Structure 1
Amino acid sequence: MGQIKSPLVVSFSVAGDTTARKIADHLNGQLWLKSDMDGQDSKALLQSAFSAERSIVGVCASGILVRYLAPILSEKLSEPAVVAVSPNGEQAVPLLGGHHGANQLALDISALLDGNAAITTASDNVLGISLDEPPFGYVLANPDAAKSAMAKLLAGEKINLDGNAPWLEKSSLLLKDGTVNVAIDHLVQDGASLHIVPKNLIVGIGCERHCPADHVIALVEKTLAENNISPLAIAAIASIDLKSDEAALNAAASHFNVPLRTFTADQLKQEAVRVPNPSTVVLSEVGTPSVAEASAIKAGALLVEKQKTNKATCAIGISETPIDVDTFGTLAGALYLVGLGPGTNQLRTPVADMALRRTTDWVGYGLYLDLAADAKTDQIEHRFALGEEELRVRHALELAGIGKQVALICSGDANIFAMGALIYELLAATGDRAISDAAKRVAIETCPGISAFQAAAAKSGALIGHDFCCISLSDLLTPREDILKRLDAAAAGDFVTAFYNPRSMRRTDLIEIAKEKFLKHRPNNTPVVIASNLGRPAEKVRVVELGEFNPEEIDMLTIVMFGASQSKSFKRGSGETVAYTPRGYAKKAAKMDQAS
């Protein structure tokens, strides 16, 4: 079944639920029934699974899957398997990813249900094989040669195979003196044959701390070139887990478009008797006599012994078959700091949305996890109560430390009055607050979101068209005296000012004090934007004048924005009152008129 792992099985009708259950049980897949979705957006569910390269079995009309997935189709060489199954189980139709497992998946389902697999790819129907889309674990080195090779086979010619290809070896199309030359190996070929490369090599790397990335990449490329090895054969870069955060290793993995996988010192030490070039210095420093060779030999056997520079080492290991990197070593953990925006997925940034879909674990306040439900498939949720900020950040970092891909979910933008600063505070912490060494090494990627002040301004006009600032009125983490100083400075500095956490059940007076202070520097008709429940069904945005603003109407689900002295408001023909802050273009235009 290759890459087909825990597929998503979805039924779109009660008539298909029984069939879907049988398929999910047989494939050990995740089951979603239309009757159990509780308002879940089924289109978003399927697009989320597809974007995460997860196979999909839809017990429904094929047109449903086509309409839902068509907007996000891109490169057929990387698309997952998608199969439509009739509700009665009689037909299983591979729609996408035929040679990436969908054809085999359809055959498997049809055998289970005593139905028919409607295989439509010509190579499978006529020849029973395909060269233009090799199975999981193999890649075409020269795709342009594949079409002509398949055309020759369809015209009756035979394959002359040089190499091992389990999916071809029993085919009647093989002939030693065939005219369709197919080479299957990890070497660089001259281009005369169709070249299929098995991804069966591991590049083991050791390097000094902060080694330049171009130094490591150059060493690997030199080693490949000297041994006539195709970079396409690399399944992963591997090293010791102490180097999981090494920028050079991550850059090398990105350069060769493969993952970085790691092993503990004890796991590498297990290979000590097999490595030809152990080092007592390395043993004393990291607890294993070899990093590069031991990492590489985990593939099965050592193909290229350790190559050295003054900063790094490199070795190459080889497996007899393509390597499933999902089970090879440990994936370096990563923490994605995700800002959801104001609530609706329509205002979620693409980078945040993709992080939600690609991660294995979600950590956050329960409400925020609920707001992201449209992007959820099989991610594990770790829910925390309001006020447990440090607990949730520690948990997210430690999860990433054991190799998980974690989304720490915040509302708005995660770096604005949210968890961003706390992450780095804990990464730098020592003593009682210190996190584990593994957690300190995780990769951090911040996925920006649209903050509440941006959404509020967008809903009400253009109040932040000129200089602005943001102040949190919560005194839980900021001394009250500091908040009062900042209110004075913002009022005197004539900033448009957004107030986060404006009023709580306990703290009611700071927003009132803010109004008093700003009225000393602003006219009574200064526009004030009041925005509550942004991005949610109860959303309400309105513009009032500062003199009429009533702080008692404000709660913690509201953001308040006071305009600057030059800010203005007016009522449009629709009856909507909007607010804006001029940038100065009128003065610029007047000067240009005078100059002309």
Structure 2
Amino acid sequence: MLVGIGPGSVEHMTQRARAAIAEADTVIGYVTYIKLVQDLLEGKEIIRKSMTEELDRAVSALEAARAGRRVALISSGDAGVYGMAGPTYEVLFQAGWTPECGVEVEIVPGASALNSCAARVGAPLTHDFCAISLSDLLTPWPVIARRLNAVAAADFVVALYNPKSGRRTRQIVEAQRLFLSHRRPDTPVAIVKSAYRRRERIEFTTLAQMSEADIGMLTTVLIGNSHTFVRHGLMVTPRGYANKYDMDSHDAHAGEKAGRSLSTGLLGWLDALAIAHASGDSIATLAERYDLPASYIAATLAEPPPAVAQEAPLEHEETGA
């Protein structure tokens, strides 16, 4: 069982995570994670591993499971988000494991750092966001830099994992430099250390001052988008309702309709694109205007306009479902 224990406090673990640990004969994990669930481990075999021994943890889990033990391999946050699920499957496949081989695998999800940190500072992830790790221990820096540059330009809210350590001190500076090439210096940033743990620390700052904050391996950095704001000590990213509704009367703006795509949504944009192209704008001009690949613009213009259902059911705007 690959168990995500969430931020660390027992009350923030899922019921299944607590039950999985209770069912286990053997519990394996990084020493700090073992300490976080110490109260749940009485009478169990405990295998503690260091920070850089992820593959060893997975090997130990497989060996114990093959010996008939019921194993809980724990990760902080979610086991599938920068956690032990990936390396464990790599070890399993390397060992010739298949789902039919007798060793069953269950992934028990938990709240990742971006969830717990966001909850401590407000609602910064209400709109599109992504996560990027600044650790270059396993990922080449040019790959990380390209990802940072892409999401900064695309105006995502971003959660930076593994932002800084005793040896890796310049990565956060380089990330800041890339973001400042696309974002305002006063873009809100929240620095959250050890969310929901004993030494929790929260600091609000700006993109211009971000690298000067107290940042370490137990820190998650949340960088807002162009609409994110901080008010009364809370960091909030608007969902976009103001694009469609008057926020005082809650009435839809002229040309907009509740439960329907924005007038500037896909269908409206397709109409505008076709009109502009018919009026003489080249594919290259349109690609530059919308910052999209020319091949995409060309393929879109070549596609017949979609048929629109006249009375399709209304959509739930709060979820996009």
Instruction: Give the TM-score category using the shorter length.
Output: 0.7 to 0.9
Report SS of the residue matched to 1:491.
helix
Q: Is the alpha carbon distance of 1:440 and 1:525 closer, same or farther for their aligned partners in structure 2, counting shifts above 3 Å?
A: farther
- For 1:455, what is the secondary structure of its paired residue? helix
Structure 1 residue 393 and structure 2 residue 53: aligned?
no
Three-state SS of the structure 1 residue aligned to 2:164 is: coil
In the alignment, structure 1 residue 581 sits paired with structure 2 residue 228: no
Q: 2:20 & 2:212 partners in 1: Cα distance?
A: 38
TM-superposed deviation, 1:548 = 2.3
Matches within 5 A, 1:533-552: 533-551=194-212
2: distance between equivalents of 1:561 and 1:423?
Answer: 28
Distance 2:253 2:96 in 1: 63
TM-score after normalising by structure 1:
0.41
Q: CA deviation at 1:578?
A: 1.1
Select 2:17's aligned residue among 352, 362, 365. 352
Superposition pairs for residues 190-229 of structure 1, below 5 Å? none
Matched-pair contact (CA < 8 Å) for 1:543–1:578: no
C-alpha separation in 1, matches of 2:77 and 2:66: 26
Q: What SS does the aligned partner of 1:553 have?
A: coil
Q: For the structure 1 residues 440 and 369, does the alpha-carbon distance in structure 2 shift closer, same or farther, using more than 3 Å as the test?
A: farther
The answer on whether the counterparts of 2:186 and 2:208 sit within 8 Å (CA) in structure 1 is: yes
Match of 2:145 among 468, 479, 484: 484
Question: Secondary structure at the residue paired with 2:196?
Answer: coil
1:366 aligned residue? 31
Letter in 2 for 1:568: F
Match of 2:318 in 1: none
Q: Secondary structure at the match of 1:514?
A: helix
Change (3 A) 1:555 1:440: farther
Structure 2 equivalent of residue 592 of structure 1: 252
Deviations 1:79-101 (A, max 9, x none): xxxxxxxxxxxxxxxxxxxxxxx
Structure 1 unmatched runs, 5+: 1-335
* 1: CA distance, partners of 2:39 / 2:223: 34
* 1:455 paired to 2:116: yes
Match of 1:420 in 2: 85
CA contact 1:401–1:438 (8 Å) conserved in 2: no
Matched position secondary structure for 2:167: coil
Aligned residues: 252
Which residue of 451, 456, 471 corresponds with 2:132? 471
| 1:584–1:479 CA distance, 2 compared to 1 (3 A) | same
Say whether the 8 Å CA contact 2:132–2:161 is kept in structure 1.
Answer: yes
On the 8 A contact 1:402/1:438 being kept in 2, the answer is no
Report the counterpart of residue 214 of structure 2 in structure 1: 553
Residue among 164, 181, 184 paired with 1:503: 164
Matched residue of 2:46: which SS? strand
How far has the Cα of 1:443 moved from its partner? 0.8
Write out aligned runs for 1:175-324 (5 A).
Answer: none
**Does residue 529 of the first structure (1) align with residue 190 of the second (2)?**
yes
Other-structure match for 1:337: 2
* CA spacing shift, 1:495–1:384, aligned 2, 3 Å: same
Measure, in 1, the Cα distance between the counterparts of 2:18 and 2:125: 26
- CA distance change for structure 1 residues 484 and 399 in 2, over 3 Å: closer, same or farther? same
Q: Deviations over 1:314-355 (max 9, x none)?
A: xxxxxxxxxxxxxxxxxxxxxx10011111112111111110
Residue in 1 that maps onto 2:178 = 517
**Residue deviations 1:12-50, cap 9 Å, x none?**
xxxxxxxxxxxxxxxxxxxxxxxxxxxxxxxxxxxxxxx
| Contact in 2 for aligned 1:362/1:379 (Cα 8 Å) | yes
Matches within 5 A, 1:372-387: 372-387=37-52
CA contact (8 A) 1:397 1:439 kept: no
For the Cα contact (< 8 Å) 1:472–1:501, is it kept in 2? yes
Q: 1:449 is paired with a residue of what secondary structure?
A: coil
SS of the aligned residue for 1:427 comes to: helix
Query: Is the contact between residue 427 and residue 440 of structure 1 (CA under 8 Å) also seen in structure 2?
Result: no
**1:460 and 1:516, CA in 2 relative to 1: closer, same or farther beyond 3 A?**
same
SS at match of 1:529: strand
* Sequence identity percentage: 41
Shift of 1:386: 1.7
Higher Rg: 1
In the TM superposition, what is the alpha-carbon distance from 1:439 to its structure 2 partner?
10
1 CA distance for matches of 2:164 and 2:100? Answer: 36
For the 8 Å contact 2:120–2:195, the answer to whether it is kept is no
CA distance in 1 between counterparts of 2:180 and 2:160 reads 15
Using the alignment, how far apart are the partners of 1:476 and 1:551 within structure 2?
23
Amino acid at match of 1:587: N
Q: Give the conservation status (yes or no) of the 8 Å contact 1:531–1:541.
A: yes
Report the alpha carbon displacement of residue 461 of structure 1 after superposing the two structures with TM. 0.5
Distance 1:351 1:507, change over 3 A: same
The Cα shift of 1:362 comes to 0.2
Give the 3-state SS of the residue equivalent to 1:524 in structure 2. Answer: coil
| Structure 2 gaps, min length 5 | 258-321
Q: SS of 1:377's equivalent?
A: coil
Instruction: Return the offset for 1:549.
Output: 1.9
Q: Secondary structure at the match of 1:428?
A: helix
CA RMSD of aligned residues (A): 2.0
Q: 1:526, CA displacement in angstroms?
A: 1.1
- Give 1 or 2: higher strand fraction: 1
Conserved in 2, the CA contact under 8 Å of 1:398 and 1:439? no
Distance 2:2 2:97 in 1: 19
Q: Distance in 1 between matches of 2:236 and 2:98?
A: 49
Could you tell me how far 1:436 is from its partner in structure 2? 7.2
